[in-house]
Amino acid sequence: MEEPVSRMKQRARDETTSVTKIYSQEVVKTRLENPGISTGLIFPSLSSIDASLYRMRSKRYPTLPKCLTDLSLPEEWKLTKKGQPFFLVDEAYESERLLMFGSEWSLRFLSLCTEVHADGTFSTRPLIFAKVYVVFGFDKGYMIPCIYCLTTKLDKVLYKKIFNHIMIQCAKLNLTFSPQRFTSDFDHSIWRKIQELGLSRLVSSSRREINDDDHKKADRWVLGAIDLALIPPSLVETTWVSLMNDYTPKNYQVASQFNDFMVSTYVENDSTRFGVDIWNVYEAIVNRRLRTNNHVEGYNRQMKAEFPIHPHIDQFIETLRMEHEYQHHIAEASQVQLRRRKKIYDQIDIKLVTWREEHMNKK
């Protein structure tokens, strides 16, 4: 078994493939090359050799700094795989650090997009950072990741810094970053509050599951809060008042907390935390635009498949450089290949447009 173990160690040092996957692949390869051998009886277990594999992998990367101020990137990691500038921003402020990666093609693509999306993920971040935050451009049915940010803090100040930097980087190329629409997930979402207050049990996955009148009312009350995003903005406040008056459950102590949350966070025109124009998607329905961040969340799942979990920062950037080159290919393809929407999304759009027309005709 010395030869397959030796191959594992070599691969652990040379590749970014996870140690677990390297082990399983070499086990399978050994079994196929030696069909008469019962590898399970003689092959060393992963737990008995994983430490040596990780030691080999650590030789590939420098030791991580103990603090962010000591973090520096080799010049190679500041360039794309084609040798073009890739490291856009390195800002240290207070005790925080913000790194931003992108290239000329991604800035040009982003500046041409009228719709921009953004989202963050945690599992693919290097452990010395808090989050990977990605800014996407949407064009011709393609959602292209353009700017990758490594952040140590998540707050409004950070998000403002990110988009200010994007505008500055675009200006250096005589480009203007001024999208007509920006979509990002709320940290304070309605559904998260519903779950926090234990109200999700009031929502039935099927209308046939609702038997009693009280449950029907509660179901309509909770779903009505979510559906406010789909109606004309001018009707949001009066609609929520009607929902509160007619459908608020009387046997749930937390119901009033949820009503207060909705009013102060989303509904009340004069003092709401998030104005209706920020979260309402009625205009997107009318103009057949994207209403959600589902495309972006799909890319986050793809990142989990491509990137190791909490990789060394050098391993993260090495994988990112490859990913960025591949996304350049996708961006080029978007100019000549039409991406068809899934039929289910067209069906949803038709329903929403029909409901809108019925509302406009006051049916």
Domain range annotation of the chain? 2-58, 69-185+293-333, 190-279
**Pairing state between β 181-184 and 115-121:** parallel
Query: What pLDDT shows up at residue 210?
Result: 46
**Pairing state between β 87-93 and 96-101:** antiparallel
* SS3 at position 121: strand
Query: What pLDDT shows up at residue 295?
Result: 77
**Pairing state between β 142-151 and 96-101:** antiparallel
The sheet that has 142-151: what strands, in order across it? 87-93, 96-101, 142-151, 131-139, 115-121, 181-184
What are the tokens at 227?
A: 């559906």
| Number of Cβ atoms within 10 Å of the Cβ of 91 | 13
* SS3 at position 118: strand
How confident is the prediction along the chain (363 residues), in pLDDT tens digits per residue? 789 999 999 998 888 788 888 999 999 999 999 888 888 888 899 999 988 988 887 777 766 677 777 788 889 889 999 999 999 999 998 889 999 999 999 999 999 999 999 988 888 888 889 999 999 999 988 999 999 999 998 788 888 999 999 999 999 999 999 998 888 876 556 667 777 777 776 665 444 444 566 777 888 898 889 889 888 888 899 999 999 998 888 767 788 888 998 998 888 877 778 888 888 888 888 877 777 777 787 887 888 888 878 888 888 999 999 999 999 999 999 888 877 777 777 787 778 778 777 766 764
Q: Rounded to whole angstroms, how far apart are CA atoms 322 and 80?
A: 8
Rounded (10°) angle between helices 104-112 and 156-172:
100
Query: What pLDDT shows up at residue 203?
Result: 62
- Residue 324, CB-side half-sphere exposure with 13 Å CA sphere: 32
Query: Minimal CA–CA distance to 183: which of 100, 293, 78?
Result: 293
Query: What pLDDT shows up at residue 79?
Result: 96
Q: Rounded to whole angstroms, how far apart are CA atoms 265 and 92?
A: 32
Q: Rounded to whole angstroms, how far apart are CA atoms 21 and 8?
A: 10
Stated length of the chain: 363
Q: Look at the block and give the residue holding tokens 């652990």.
A: 12
Give the predicted TM-score (pTM) of the model.
Answer: 0.72
Query: Minimal CA–CA distance to 164: which of 98, 252, 73?
Result: 98
Is-contact 300 136, C-beta < 8 A? no
- Residue 339, CB-side half-sphere exposure with 13 Å CA sphere: 16
